[in-house]
Amino acid sequence: MPLHDHCYIINEGSLLLPDGYLDRTANIFVQADTAQGAFNLNIGRDSMEPEETLADYVGR
């Protein structure tokens, strides 16, 4: 399968998104051993607007 902007490959399979969809991927990683404390890592994907500063992005 050729890779292009709308083709996503994940552990569970792959999918082809139709035009008009945006990637807003979110990954959440949690510790298996919560006896050490509950540390979670959340990663989200987003896009800044043209000419937008980081401060403006965080504020919206």
pLDDT at residue 4, rounded to an integer: 55
Q: State the maximum Cα–Cα separation within the chain, in Å, rounded to a whole number.
A: 45
Question: pTM of the entire structure?
Answer: 0.49
> pLDDT tens digits for the chain (60 residues)?
445 567 888 889 998 888 888 888 888 988 887 777 778 899 988 888 999 999 998 898
* C-alpha–C-alpha distance, residues 41 and 44, integer Å: 10
In the chain, where the domains are located: 23-60
